[in-house]
Each structure stands twice: as C-alpha cells, then as structure tokens.
Amino acid sequence: MDLDHAVGEVARSHPLDPWARVAEAVQALELTDLRPSPTVNVLFGQLVDAALALPACHPQIARHGPRVRHLCARGEGYLETWWAHRVIADPETLPSFPYLTQYEQLVRGEWTALTGALGRRPRHVALVGSGPLPLTAVWWRRLAPDVQVTCIDRDPGAVGLGRRVAWSVAGRAGAPAFVHAEAGEVDSSAFDAVVLAALVGDAAGKTAAVDALASRMRDDGVLAVRSVPPDGRRLLYPRVRPEDLPSSVRLVAEWTPPPEVINSVLLLAPRAAGPDRR
C-alpha cells in the first residue's frame, strides 16, 4: 500500500501535518536515484524535519518505518560516498559537509558517555560500520589524539575510501587503522571500547552483532550501540530497545541526544562483568 492513498489531498488540506510532509518527501525521493543533488538534498532535509515533528506514538511510524529507513540508508550511502570522493580530492571541503555539526555533537556526547561508562580514558577504540566517510574516527582523533582508533567495515570499497579520506584529512601518520571484516568476526577483546554504527544490520542483525561482540569483550570493556530515541527519529534509523538486547549484555547507561541530533547511544557491558556500574 502507498504511504498515503490520498497524500496530495491530505497535504493540501493539512499543509502542516508532519505525516503528509513525510509522505510527500518519500514519494518524491522514490522518483529519484537518491544520489546527491540539490533536489535530493532538499527532499532529505524535508523528510528529516518532518520526522522530527512526528508525535512519538504516530501509528504510521511502525507501519512504514522499514520502507523509509531503507530509503534513508541508501541515500546516506550515496551521500557518504559522494562526499568521500570530494574530501579525498580536496580536504578543505570537509567543513561544507551538510551534517557536520550534528556529527560533531553526536561524537562529543558519545565520547563523554563512553569514557564515563568505562570510568577511564580508553586507549584503543573500534568503530564497526565506519563506512566510506569515517567522520566519527576523524573527530575521535581530534578529541583524543593519543587514543588508537580502528575502523572496521564489511564493504571493502568503504574501507578503501575511508582510509583515503582519513589520510587526506589527518595524514597517514595520524590516521586510524582500517580493517575489512564482518561485525561478527571482530575480536572485541583487542579494544577498550567498541562502537556499533547505526546502520549495521536490521533489528535481528544488530542483535546478532551485539551478541558476537559481547562474547569476546574483556570484562571491563564497553560496547556502544547507536540507536534513536523513541520518537519520530525511529522513522529514520532502526531503534534498539533496551528490552530487545541479548542476555549477554547489560545496559550501563543511555546517552540521549539533543533534538537536532538523530542518534542516541546505548552503553553496554558484558553480562559477566562485575556489579552494575550505574
């Protein structure tokens, strides 16, 4: 079924209704190839704004969420690849990346929550699902130049582009390490903390990845899983609910983002690790 059988009429009669705006943006995006362009960029901006305006209990989120999230994931992949090539060609263009401020806010909040959950400054951090534009790793190195960072992705093309982006921005000596691997293959015992990106797997795939990573983590390690709050933002990214987590982990804390940032972060510890640190 379509997002709205009469979306045109609904949008005209209720121009401020956020779901009508979501439906219009999605239908318009599905007529494009989702690759960055002035039109696509504006439509994704409209979709994000409309999603943020949705009531948390809006029934259409559950009904159409998979379709919208699939669209967003494809669009984000194209956006990051396009910008990776641009930054490789000219690192000075990075400040023009349209979501750079939101990335910076996410990484700063995540880093503070992560070090708080660990109770110390990490020495070696991994990002699983780093993608072709590893802005998280770039910001980590700026926040903590002494911390060793490893970027991991299942896509060899993303690994190659991500490495070149990091070399362009930070130089080879200051760039993170890059590894081509599936989330389930990562030896998480090699890291103080592991961050699982928001687009790693659907709900079942993410649960399996969390379980695999937790099974190898050191007792004092922390696994940070990017999710979204239980509001309109769950239309854009898959939400990981604490009650859906595997029994191999326990929730230590949750970082809730400001309204303009999409992702929240769940801080998890292996179930075998000592008393609860909350």
Is residue 249 included in any domain, yes or no?
yes
pLDDT band at 206 (very low <50, low <70, confident <90, very high): confident
User: In this structure, are 136 and 92 located in the same domain?
Assistant: no
Q: In this predicted structure, what is the pLDDT of residue 82?
A: 97
pLDDT digit string (tens) for 63-103?
Answer: 999 999 999 999 999 999 999 999 999 999 999 999 999 99
**Average pLDDT value for residue range 19-37:** 95
Is residue 199 included in any domain, yes or no?
yes
- What pTM did the predictor assign? 0.88
Q: In this predicted structure, what is the pLDDT of residue 12?
A: 46
Is residue 197 included in any domain, yes or no?
yes
Going from the C-alpha of 110 to that of each of 84, 100, 194, 273, the distances in angstroms are 23, 15, 12, 21
pLDDT digit string (tens) for 230-261?
Answer: 999 999 998 998 888 999 999 999 999 999 89
User: In this structure, are 18 and 139 located in the same domain?
Assistant: no
- Could you tell me if 168 and 134 are in contact, meaning their C-beta atoms sit under 8 angstroms apart? no
User: In this structure, are 87 and 150 located in the same domain?
Assistant: no
pLDDT surpassing 90 at residue 262: yes
* Total domain count, the chain: 2
CATH number of domain containing 212:
3.40.50.150
d(CA 133, CA 7): 35
pLDDT band at 5 (very low <50, low <70, confident <90, very high): very low
User: In this structure, are 85 and 160 located in the same domain?
Assistant: no
Using DSSP's 3-state secondary structure scheme, residue 117 falls into helix
Q: In this predicted structure, what is the pLDDT of residue 101?
A: 93
- Write down which residue in 96, 117, 144 finishes a domain: 96
- Indicate the range of 7-16, 27-36, 73-82, 221-230 predicted with least confidence: 7-16
Cβ within 8 Å of residue 197, ≥6 positions away: 127, 128, 129, 130, 131, 136, 226
User: In this structure, are 151 and 224 located in the same domain?
Assistant: yes
Single-letter residue type at 208:
A
User: In this structure, are 118 and 229 located in the same domain?
Assistant: yes
pLDDT surpassing 80 at residue 4: no
- Write down which residue in 96, 126, 153 finishes a domain: 96
User: In this structure, are 89 and 115 located in the same domain?
Assistant: no
pLDDT digit string (tens) for 134-191?
Answer: 999 989 888 888 999 999 999 999 999 999 999 999 888 888 999 999 988 999 999 9
- Give the domain range for residue 257: 102-270
Is residue 1 included in any domain, yes or no?
no
User: In this structure, are 144 and 229 located in the same domain?
Assistant: yes
User: In this structure, are 79 and 128 located in the same domain?
Assistant: no
Q: In this predicted structure, what is the pLDDT of residue 156?
A: 96
Which residue is it, tokens 């209990």? 57
User: In this structure, are 144 and 265 located in the same domain?
Assistant: yes
pLDDT surpassing 70 at residue 1: no
pLDDT surpassing 90 at residue 275: no
Q: In this predicted structure, what is the pLDDT of residue 184?
A: 87
User: In this structure, are 107 and 77 located in the same domain?
Assistant: no
Quote the mean pLDDT of the chain.
Answer: 89
Q: In this predicted structure, what is the pLDDT of residue 80?
A: 97
Here the tokens at position 118 are: 């660990």
User: In this structure, are 134 and 222 located in the same domain?
Assistant: yes
Q: In this predicted structure, what is the pLDDT of residue 15?
A: 53
Is residue 81 included in any domain, yes or no?
yes
- Write down which residue in 96, 126, 154 finishes a domain: 96
